Amino acid sequence: MFRKTLPVFFLVLTLWSSCKKEETPDHNHDPISTSGTAAIHVENVVGTEALQLGVMQYKNASADSFQVDLLKYYISNFEWIRDDGTSYKSLNYQLINASNVSSLDFQLDQIPNGTYTGLKFYLGVDSLSNHTLTNSAALDASSGMIWNWNTGYIFFKHEGKYVDSTGVHQPLLFHFGTDRALAEVTLPLNNLVFNSNSRNVVLKLDLAPLYGSPNAIDFNIWHNNQSLTTQEFPWLDAMKQNFSSSFSVSIP
């Protein structure tokens, strides 16, 4: 009898002590960290200059002067690529807003320790999230980045002015989105090593190539654009291609 109850007695004791342990967590038993964090900082530039909002001081490849009053865009689904072709996906959506400095810094954590040679992400929102507005956080539908009569996100918004061929200031508006517009961006990393640490990563969007390379976007033709009709496909496709050459990454 006693021999039989003894193990059970110990079992009960262990259970009791294990539930006590939760009240005072034992830090000595934390697992050794095997991953790092990327602290990403986004810079919006035009050529060599940092973007300034509300000033008519930039030129696109077609030599149209333009200004930016509002610049907002989604970057999403970052993927860290290793030399051997394997990768780690940081699922995340970030809404960049040039007029809100806090939107320019964000962290991606749990990146497994190792050496990375590439960074892939998307300008836009994947089709899974793009067809419902019940998303939250960066994708909250109240952030002014949706089309409300045709369920979907505006991936990229530039509103401002340009000077037309007769010298007159005209409104400029690019609302870029829909599944067709989702633009993949892949950038080389010069052997970025994560070793249970935090690394700074600077991501730059340059509006000069965005409107110029490889496809020139002439504001005299394209200046009031919502990418929701077939007539908009030429600039949509052109700009989608330009996005891949408009981002760059550097490790300070």
Which residues contact another protein by CB under 8 A?
Answer: 4-5, 8, 12, 15-16, 19-20, 131-136, 140-144, 146, 148-151, 228-230
CB distance 38 to 107 below 8 Å: yes
Rounded-to-integer distance, Cα 227 and Cα 172, Å? 14
- ∠ at Cα 195 (190, 201), nearest 5°? 45
Taking the complex as a whole, how short is the minimal distance between the CB of residue 132 and another protein, in angstroms?
A: 6
Cα separation values, 135 from 129, 153, 179, Å: 7, 11, 17
Helix (H, G, I), strand (E, B) or coil at 226: strand
Taking the complex as a whole, how short is the minimal distance between the CB of residue 230 and another protein, in angstroms?
A: 5
- ∠ at Cα 67 (221, 55), nearest 5°? 155
Rounded-to-integer distance, Cα 55 and Cα 51, Å? 9
What radius of gyration do the chain's Cα atoms show?
25
**Judged by CB, which is closer to another protein: 8, or 168?**
8
**Judged by CB, which is closer to another protein: 9, or 195?**
9
Taking the complex as a whole, how short is the minimal distance between the CB of residue 164 and another protein, in angstroms?
A: 27
Taking the complex as a whole, how short is the minimal distance between the CB of residue 21 and another protein, in angstroms?
A: 10
**Judged by CB, which is closer to another protein: 143, or 244?**
143
**Judged by CB, which is closer to another protein: 65, or 103?**
103
Beta strand 65-82 with 114-123: parallel, antiparallel or unpaired? antiparallel
CB distance 80 to 188 below 8 Å: no
Taking the complex as a whole, how short is the minimal distance between the CB of residue 102 and another protein, in angstroms?
A: 16
**What residues are paired with 156 via a beta bridge?**
73, 176
**Judged by CB, which is closer to another protein: 12, or 63?**
12
Amino acid at 217: I
- ∠ at Cα 50 (111, 56), nearest 5°? 140
**Judged by CB, which is closer to another protein: 39, or 228?**
228
**Judged by CB, which is closer to another protein: 43, or 140?**
140
Taking the complex as a whole, how short is the minimal distance between the CB of residue 5 and another protein, in angstroms?
A: 8
Residue 146: count other Cβ atoms within 10 Å of its Cβ. 20
Which residue bears the tokens 């640490």?
197
